Amino acid sequence: MRVLLVEDDVRMAAAMRRALRGAGVVAEIASTSGDALWMVRAASHDAMVLDVMLPDTDGFETCRLLRANGVWVPVIMVTARGAVEDRVRGLDAGADDYLTKPFSLAELLARLRALGRRVPVERAPVVQVGSLRLDPAARLGASDVDRDASIPWRPGAG
């Protein structure tokens, strides 16, 4: 398994990387949202462990950007922010799981293994015609005129 760790705390990132390596997991580290967005496109990852509190953009927005750009790597958000509202916000932003700090590295490994057991879901392809881009699975559309238009769902419309 290959995992992208997105964590700005150097000691926390090093501890997670050591634990993952000990379990046979290849782990790369990104310390900013910008680095993570670049790295996830530059190499294939089986999962991402994403801290919420990052120096440039928070993890909620980072996850939302991943999904809006068609990146479907499974994401586990990790943070000290454990309020129900924060967990809901993370999951609604596109995270697959949410783990509150402090956490057991054994639990993180178990959650990564659980994500690895999931069967990949086949998504409807994104359609692009000229400057119009439609993502039926996310119900999103974009064009030069309106970059983030929603496509309303109607019963019976598919």
The model's pTM is 0.75
**Beta-carbon count within 10 A of 107 CB:** 10
Q: Looking at residue 18, what is its pLDDT?
A: 93
Which segment of 3-12, 42-51, 124-133, 135-144 scores lowest on mean pLDDT?
135-144
Model confidence pLDDT, tens digit, residues 84-140: 999 999 999 999 999 998 999 899 999 999 998 886 655 567 777 887 777 666 566
Q: Where are the domains of the chain?
A: 2-117, 124-158
Ramachandran region of residue 16, left (φ > 0), alpha (ψ -120 to 50) or beta? alpha
CATH 3.40.50.2300 for domain 2-117, yes or no, is yes
* Max intra-chain CA distance, the chain: 52
Ramachandran region of residue 19, left (φ > 0), alpha (ψ -120 to 50) or beta? alpha
- CA dihedral (132, 42, 3, 111) in degrees, to 10, reads 0
64 has a pLDDT exceeding 90:
yes
